[in-house]
Amino acid sequence: MTGPSEDPRDLDRQNPEGEIAARARAYRNWGRWGEDDRLGTLNLIDAAKRVEAAGLVREGIVVSLSQPFDTDGPQTGWRRRTNPVHTMTDTGTDAERGNQGFPHGIGGADDVIAMPLQCSTQWDGLGHIFDHGDAWNGRRAGDVVTSDGDLVTGIEHTRTAFVTRGVLLDVARHLRPETGELEDGYAISAADLDATIAAQGPSSAVGRGDIVVVRTGRYTRARREGWNGYAGGPAAGLSLTTAGWLHRTQIAGIATDTWGFEVRPNEFDVPSFQPLHQVVIPNIGLSIGEMWDLDELAETCRRLGRYDFFLAAPTLPITGAVGSPVNPVAVL
C-alpha cells in the first residue's frame, strides 16, 4: 500500500504537523467536483444510491439516532458551547387563566430555544474546520466564513443531501464483546474497521455514497455513569491513520457516538488538537457527525442480523451556518 501508513504505531508522535500534512496532500479532493463545489463527498450520493437505500426498508422499524436537546446535555461551556436553554413564552397556566387574549376559549402554548448549533447530535459543515487558513476546495478561510456566516459552504446547501444508505460499524462490540465499550484513548485503526465489517458480514460492506456510523460505546457509559468529561475529554475514536480508509472507501459521511469523532487524547506527545478533522473536512471534504446515539440501532441490527439501513439525517437550512443539529433516523 502506497501513501502514509495506516498503522497507528507508525505515527511520529513528535510531529503532528508532518503527519497531518502528509495525509492532507495524499487524500486532498480539491477540484474533484469543480471550483464552485459546496458539498464535498456528499456528491458521492446519487439517485441510484438513494433507490438502493430505500430497498433496505423491510420491517418498517424506525430508530432515532439523536441524543436529547436539553439543559442536561454534555456541554461545559468550552468555546461558548452551552446546553440548550428552553423557555416557554406561553403556557397552559396562561390558557387556564384566560389571559392570552384569544376568543371563544381557545388557548395555546409557545416556546423558544437558544443553543449552539453543535451542542448535541449534529453535523459539522465544510466551513467548520480550516487547514493553515484554507477552507474546503482550496478557498481562503476568510473569504468563506465571515461575521455574516459561511458565505460559500453554508449548511443550507446540504438540506437534501444526507439521505442515503447507512452502515453501522459496531467496533466496540466487535473488539470488546464482553462490555461493548472501548476504553478511552483507544485509536480505532483502518484494520479495526475492516475487521468489524468482516465480523458483521456482507450487510456492513462499505462503499461509494454510504454514510458510516461507528459505535465506540462512549455514550453508553455516559448514560450509565454521567457525562464525566464526555464533551472534550478522553474517548475512543478514529485514528489519524484512518484518513486513507475514509478517502478510498468513497463514503459520503461518517458519524460516531462521541463528542469529537477522533480519538482523544489525540495521538501525539506534543500539543495537537483534532488532527483528523484538519485532514478530512477542509481537504477530503468529508462531513462529520458527532454525539449520535447508536445504542438502540446496534441492538436492532444485532437482532435483525443486518447492519445497513435507510438513513435520513437532513440538516436544518440555517443560512450561513457551519454546523447543524440533527435528528438522524434509521429505517430498517
Q: How many domains does the chain have?
A: 2
Do 283 and 168 share a domain, yes or no?
Answer: yes
3-state per-residue secondary structure call for the chain: CCCCCCCHHHCCCCCHHHHHHHHHHHHCCCCCCCCCCCCHHHHHCCHHHHHHHHCCCCCCCEEECECCCCCCCCCCCHHHCCCCEEEEEECHHHHHCCCCCCCCCCCCCEEEEECCCCCCCEEECCCCCCECCECHHHCEHHHHEECCEECCCCHHHHCCCCEEEEEEECHHHHHCCCCCCCCCCCEECHHHHHHHHHHHCHHHCCCCCCEEEECCCHHHHHHHHCCCCCCCCCECEECHHHHHHHHHCCCCEEEECCCCCECECCCCCCCCCCHHHHHHHHHHCCEEEECECCHHHHHHHHHHCCCEEEEECCCCCCCCCCEEECCCEEEC
Q: Which three cell numbers stand for residue 133?
A: 487558513
| CB atoms inside a 10 Å sphere around CB 208 | 14
Mean of pLDDT values over 250-254: 98
The pLDDT score that the predictor gives to residue 1 is 54
Q: Quote the distance between the C-alpha of residue 157 and its chain's center.
A: 17
Amino acid at position 292, single letter: W
Do 108 and 204 share a domain, yes or no?
Answer: no
**Rg, C-alpha atoms of the chain:** 21
Which residue, of 91, 114, 137, is where some domain finishes? 114
Q: What domain range includes position 154? A: 8-78+117-331
Strand order in the sheet with 211-214: 62-64, 329-331, 308-312, 163-169, 211-214, 253-256, 287-290, 122-124, 323-325
The pLDDT score that the predictor gives to residue 54 is 98
Q: Which three cell numbers stand for residue 25?
A: 496532500
Q: Is the peptide bond before 271 cis (omega within 30 degrees of 0)?
A: no
Mean of pLDDT values over 289-296: 98
Residues 256, 215 contacting (CB under 8 angstroms): yes
The pLDDT score that the predictor gives to residue 63 is 98
The pLDDT score that the predictor gives to residue 2 is 79
Q: Is residue 210 part of a domain?
A: yes
Do 87 and 128 share a domain, yes or no?
Answer: no
Do 156 and 277 share a domain, yes or no?
Answer: yes
Do 109 and 130 share a domain, yes or no?
Answer: no
Mean of pLDDT values over 46-54: 98
Do 125 and 188 share a domain, yes or no?
Answer: yes
The pLDDT score that the predictor gives to residue 208 is 98
Average pLDDT, whole number, for the chain?
A: 97
Q: Quote the distance between the C-alpha of residue 67 and its chain's center.
A: 12
Mean of pLDDT values over 265-292: 98
Q: Is residue 2 part of a domain?
A: no
Do 36 and 96 share a domain, yes or no?
Answer: no
Mean of pLDDT values over 189-207: 98
Determine what percent of the chain is predicted with pLDDT higher than 90: 98
The pLDDT score that the predictor gives to residue 206 is 98
Scan for cell 452551552, then name that residue: 82
Give CA–CA dist 146/139, Å, rounded.
13
The pLDDT score that the predictor gives to residue 86 is 96
pLDDT above 70: residue 211: yes
In angstroms, what CA-CA distances link 248 with 94, 154, 171, 319?
58, 26, 19, 31
Do 149 and 288 share a domain, yes or no?
Answer: yes
Q: Which three cell numbers stand for residue 145?
A: 466564513
Mean of pLDDT values over 213-217: 98
- Which range among 73-82, 217-226, 293-302, 309-318 shows the weakest confidence by mean pLDDT? 73-82
Q: Is residue 3 part of a domain?
A: no
Do 189 and 104 share a domain, yes or no?
Answer: no
Mean of pLDDT values over 221-235: 97
Buried b / exposed e over 165-177, threshold 16 CB at 10 Å, is: bbbbbbbbbbbbe
Q: Is residue 254 part of a domain?
A: yes
Do 223 and 86 share a domain, yes or no?
Answer: no
Mean of pLDDT values over 80-109: 95
Residues 13, 269 contacting (CB under 8 angstroms): yes
Do 106 and 150 share a domain, yes or no?
Answer: no
The pLDDT score that the predictor gives to residue 159 is 98
pLDDT tens-digit map of 12-39: 999 999 999 999 999 999 999 999 999 9
Q: Which three cell numbers stand for residue 41?
A: 463527498
Q: Which three cell numbers stand for residue 51?
A: 433507490
Q: For residue 239, give the nearest of 26, 8, 2 by alpha carbon.
A: 8
Can you give the pTM of this predicted structure? 0.96
